[in-house]
Amino acid sequence: MITNATPQRALRGHTPTRPNPRAAVSGEHHAGLVSRLTHRDRWLAHMLWEHKVLTTHHVVELAWSAAARRTANQRLRKLYEWRVIDRFQPFVTTGSAPMHYVLDIAGAAVLAYENGLDPKELGYRHDAAIGIAHSLRLAHTVGCNGFFTGLSNASRTNPNTGLLTTWWSETRCARHWGDIVRPDGYGRWAEHGMEVEFFVEFDFGTEAHRILAAKLHDYHRLAVNTGIITPLLLWLPTAQREANARRTLADAHAALPRPELVPMATSSPQQPATSDDPAADRWLPLSATVGSSRRVRLAEFAGRWPRQTPAADLVHRLTTAVPSATRSRLDSPSPTPPDGQTRQQWGAA
């Protein structure tokens, strides 16, 4: 059936759209960022390049106090408008997910030029950066990053606890050890004159116990090949999952040719501890059975596993063991904000 066409006068009226507040990326825009970006802004861009995605909660734990969340959101909005960072909000069935941030075009350009690189050498692609929003590993990446931001927040908010001195992403770990093992993260924790390094395996309860146990053989091979003994921390989603997995892990660990080369401990967010941070007394070494030994702090591993490689020698051995062609063009950023500014100054910017 033929109907009357819409009159031309009806096509002329329109509702003005809300103007896009985001800046157009240009040389002029990059020049304007010189007077706008703080040391913390540049550090945050580096963190997003290293760790791919951080939520609002992660960013607050890393660089602001909990009371300054509103200030943090205001600054993040400015960085979003300036194209330093981009953002997305995943769909959830109930409530609303926090905003997720990734590195944007202007932020990548700033990061490249301040490190003496052409942006093309950095290997940044905006479609790949924002594409993590659709990745099936998004929740895993966010969860693992939250483990480390929790450690960083503990060191910033409590002067009596230790300090997270190193945090390597899964990508950087794969670059160094990917031919043997691919941990979800690597870190170093310093407390009361002692320092402990560790690998992290972040479990979401999606892998069979036998797959978790098979990873022990890979870590054993890494220790044999490198001569470096590094504790392995396995973070599981529930206490029940931890108890069940430990039985399989204990059998696999005992079957290793040299079990002492793979010191290991497990924990979960459901385990009671004196603090909510991952460095608290919530870790149970694999040599103990659930309920038969007390849980220990992360820093206590330095005394329980004294055969670790000295931390001072570790960085040299790690960097010299990796061919220069495979090294990252950018060093791993410090997990704490730049020095020289107090926590109050962070919250005021």
Q: Which fold has domain 21-136+338-349?
A: Arc Repressor Mutant, subunit A (1.10.10)
Instruction: Pick the more confident residue, 201 or 119.
Output: 201
Among 181, 185, 188, 180, smallest CA distance to 140 is for 185
- Identify the weakest region by mean pLDDT among 112-126, 173-187, 268-282, 329-343: 329-343
pLDDT digits (tens, 9 = 90+) for 199-250: 999 998 888 888 999 999 999 999 999 988 999 999 999 999 999 999 999 9
- Residue ranges per domain, the chain? 21-136+338-349, 170-331
Distance set, CA 21 to CA 33, 81, 104, 114 (Å): 16, 6, 15, 26
Residue whose pair of structure tokens reads 């509103």 in the numeric block: 70
Chain-centroid distance of CA 211 in Å reads 23
Q: Write the DSSP symbol of residue 335.
A: S
Q: Which residue type does 67 have?
A: A
Among 232, 237, 234, smallest CA distance to 270 is for 237
pTM of the model: 0.86
